[in-house]
Amino acid sequence: MKLDTTYARLFLILSGIVFLSASCATQVPNDEKVVDPGYERLIFGNIEPLQIEQLEKSDDYWKDKLTPNQFYILRQEGTERPGTGKYNKFEGEGIFVCAACDMPLYHADHKYNSGCGWPSFYRPLAPGLIEYRVDNSLWMKRIEVVCMRCKGHQGHIFEDGPRPTGLRYCINSEAMRYVPVDSAAAYLESWDINPE
């Protein structure tokens, strides 16, 4: 009986530590976490980034538009379990757009099987579509990638990808929607995005 009480106390203490560290991590305003790690210069050289008009909506708007899983990932910076996303092993020609605001973000030609359990891309479609933020959650320092238009959390970027960039954009399936190749060109044209 005493052993059960000790474990219960230990669990409560650890839960409190996790809660406090998560609370502290979220108190930094997002605009103070924005960084320029130089990835887009590496990928696109001196090509000017696209100027994206911001889409600012309330949490109530996003709760009505998104599924609970999409809201958790895109608006609350959650993640899906590895190997469970519908696009993890998906192969097809076309593009992937933000599941929240529909802005094109990735091309299927840049998708590869990294073996990490999440869909992986070695670059975005064009410069200026992704915002990079410092993420110190879970006792790690990572770079979070978000949609430049709606600020929806996509995933994280790592420097262990294939050539030519050496980057791995590790993206949640729930943060994306697939547009097949027969609709992709018209879709990109409607957004005035010309992939580099």
Q: How confident is the model over 140-192, as pLDDT tens digits? A: 889 999 999 999 999 999 999 999 999 999 999 999 999 999 999 999 999 99
Q: How far apart are CA 7 and CA 173, in angstroms?
A: 37
Lowest mean pLDDT among 21-25, 36-40, 108-112, 121-125: 21-25
Residue 147 belongs to a domain? yes
**Residue 146 near residue 171, CB atoms below 8 Å:** no
Residue 98 belongs to a domain? yes
Same domain, 152 and 67: yes
The whole-number pLDDT of residue 8 equals: 56
Give the model confidence (pLDDT) of 34-60 as tens digits: 999 999 999 999 999 999 999 999 999
Alpha helices in the chain (DSSP H): 2-25, 30-33, 39-44, 59-65, 68-74, 181-190
Task: Please choose, from the candidates 58, 118, 65, 115, the residue with its C-alpha nearest in 3D space to the C-alpha of residue 87.
Answer: 118
Same domain, 147 and 186: yes
Same domain, 59 and 138: yes
The whole-number pLDDT of residue 127 equals: 96
Q: What is the mean pLDDT of the chain?
A: 88
Mean pLDDT of 118-133: 97
CATH number reported for the structural domain that contains residue 183 in this entry:
2.170.150.20
Cβ burial, residue 164 (10 Å; 0-12/13-18/19+): exposed
Catalytic residue of the set 101, 147, 150, 170:
170
Same domain, 86 and 142: yes
Counting the structural domains of the chain, the total is 2
Domain, as residue range, for 56: 36-190
Residue 195 belongs to a domain? no
Residue 3 belongs to a domain? yes
Active site residue 150: no
pTM of the model: 0.82
Same domain, 45 and 6: no
Confidence tier at 21 by pLDDT (50, 70, 90):
very low
**Residue 145 near residue 98, CB atoms below 8 Å:** no
Task: Please choose, from the candidates 34, 37, 35, the residue with its C-alpha nearest in 3D space to the C-alpha of residue 167.
Answer: 37
Same domain, 6 and 66: no
Same domain, 24 and 40: no
- What torsion do the CA atoms of 113, 35, 143, 166 make, to the nearest 10 degrees? 40
For the chain, give the number of residues: 196
Same domain, 47 and 135: yes
Tokens of 159: 């420097």
